[in-house]
Amino acid sequence: MEFTAKSIAEFLKGDIAGDPETRVNTVAKIEEGHKGALSFLANPKYEHFIYSTDSSIVLVNRDFIPSSPVRATLIKVDNAYESFASLLTLVERSKPIKKGIHPSAVIEGTASIGEEAYIGAYVYIGENCVIGDKCRIYPHSYIGDGTKIGDGCIIYSGVKIYHECIVGNNCTIHAGSVIGSDGFGFAPQSESEFLKIPQMGNVIIEDHVEIGANTSIDRATMGSTIIRKGVKLDNLIQIGHNVEVGENTVMAAQTGIAGSSKVGKNCMLAGQVGIVGHIKIADGTKIGAQSGVPGDIKKEKSVITGSPAMDHRDFLRSTVVYKKLPELKKKIDMLEQEIEFLKKKIT
At residue 94, the pLDDT reads: 76
Active site residue 241: yes
User: What was the pLDDT predicted at 97?
Assistant: 86
Model's pTM, two decimal places? Answer: 0.84
Beta bridge partners of 294: none
C-alpha–C-alpha distance, residues 200 and 74, integer Å = 58
Based on the fold, state whether residues 28 and 108 are members of the same structural domain.
no
pLDDT value at position 338?
Answer: 87
Say which of 34, 102, 174, 241 is annotated catalytic: 241
DSSP conformation class of 280: E
Same domain, 176 and 202: yes
118 in the same domain as 162: yes
Q: In this structure, are residues 294 and 308 in contact, taking their beta carbons and an 8 Å threshold?
A: yes
Indicate whether 205 and 119 sit together in one domain: yes
In whole angstroms, give the CA distance from residue 144 to residue 163. Answer: 4
**Do 118 and 140 share a domain, yes or no?**
yes
pLDDT at 225: 98
Task: Chunk the chain into consecutive blocks of 10 residues (it has 347) and report each block's average pLDDT, rounded to whole numbers.
Answer: 92 96 95 96 95 97 95 97 91 84 98 97 98 98 98 98 98 98 92 91 98 98 98 98 98 98 98 97 97 96 90 82 85 89 81
- Pairing state between β 286-287 and 303-305: parallel
Neighbours of 330 (CB within 10 A): 10
20 plus 45 within the same structural domain = yes
Residue 157, domain extent: 100-311
Last residue of a domain, one of 65, 94, 123: 94
User: Which CATH number goes with the domain that contains 47?
Assistant: 3.40.1390.10
- Whether residues 56 and 156 share a domain: the answer is no
CA distance 60 to 84: 10
Residue 342: the pLDDT is 85
Dihedral sign (CA 329, 331, 333, 335): negative
Same domain flag for 196 and 248: yes
**Cα–Cα distance between 245 and 228 in angstroms, integer?**
6
Residues 265 and 323 in one domain: no
Where among 60, 94, 128 does a domain terminate? 94
Q: What is the pLDDT of residue 318?
A: 81
Distance CA 173, CA 165 (A): 13
Last residue of a domain, one of 73, 94, 115: 94
DSSP 39: E
What is the per-residue pLDDT for 90? 80
- How many distinct structural domains can be found in the chain? 3
Residues 307 and 319 in one domain: no
Asked if 255 and 329 sit in the same domain, the reply is no
Distances (CA, A) of 127 to 105, 160, 163, 164, 208: 14, 15, 9, 10, 25
Which pLDDT score, from 0 to 100, does residue 310 have?
A: 80
Same domain, 117 and 199: yes
Q: Write the CATH number for 136.
A: 2.160.10.10
